Amino acid sequence: MTQTPRPRTPLTRAKALPPWSLLAAGVLTGGMLGGAYGVVKTPTYAATSYVVAVPTEKSDPASALGFAQAYGRVATQLAVLGDAQVWAGVPVKTLKESVQTATSPDAPMVAVTATSSRADLAADMANAVARALTRHAQDAEKSTNVELQQFARATEPTEPSSAGPAVTGLVGASAGGLLGGLLLLVRPRRTAEAPGRPAAVPGPAVAADAHGQL
């Protein structure tokens, strides 16, 4: 009796593909999606302004270093951002989301970095927060004996800080290759038996052999 061939299901077709095809498909698909994301994504620009804490005659470098750490934390507080919004021309919420500060354990310096989809606005926000921070430090200079001065103004960046299509494409290709490799590991393996083939049943023992074993 002739058996009707079974239809090829997606799982059956996946079994028929060569093992490297899943890996190649993952790399190609991931690279294309990553590159497309890099093209359509709005570029981000970053600009950094630096201020330095200088001790007065009544203070010392160690105190200046300690106050620099403190001013680095104060820079993103409402008291400073409230003044900075006037010079930056953006709301306090925007400054809160776009401005970050960093300090060094070895130097009494505060780095104020702002990010934006506009290069000029990134520089304006960084300079505005640095300016507001120095004004805030001047009001407390008599009690801290530390003066905060502008060390370097932020300049308008010429290149975006976000990853471009080449980088996002490479990341996507790597992720796609990893996913393809995982699918390759869990891919069903081919068996020696053909699909639908009944299992072999051993024939009955002859009567003579059975009688001899009694």
Residue 37: alpha-carbon gap to chain centroid: 13
* Residue 34 pLDDT grade (very low, low, confident, very high; cuts 50, 70, 90): low
Asked if residue 23 lies in contact with residue 181, where contact means CB atoms within 8 angstroms, the answer is yes
Contact 137, 148 (CB under 8 A): yes
Using the predicted structure, report yes or no on whether residue 194 has a pLDDT greater than 90: no
pTM of structure: 0.61
> What does the pLDDT read at residue 110?
94
DSSP state of 212: H
User: Which one of 1.10.3720.10, 3.30.70.1130, 3.40.109.10, 1.10.510.10 gives the CATH number of domain 45-152?
Assistant: 3.30.70.1130
Q: What is the pLDDT of residues 115-163, one digit of tens each?
A: 998 999 999 999 999 999 999 898 888 888 898 998 999 999 888 765 5
Least confident of 12-21, 71-80, 136-145, 169-178: 12-21
Structure tokens of 60?
Answer: 């010392």
β-bridge partners, 50: 111, 152
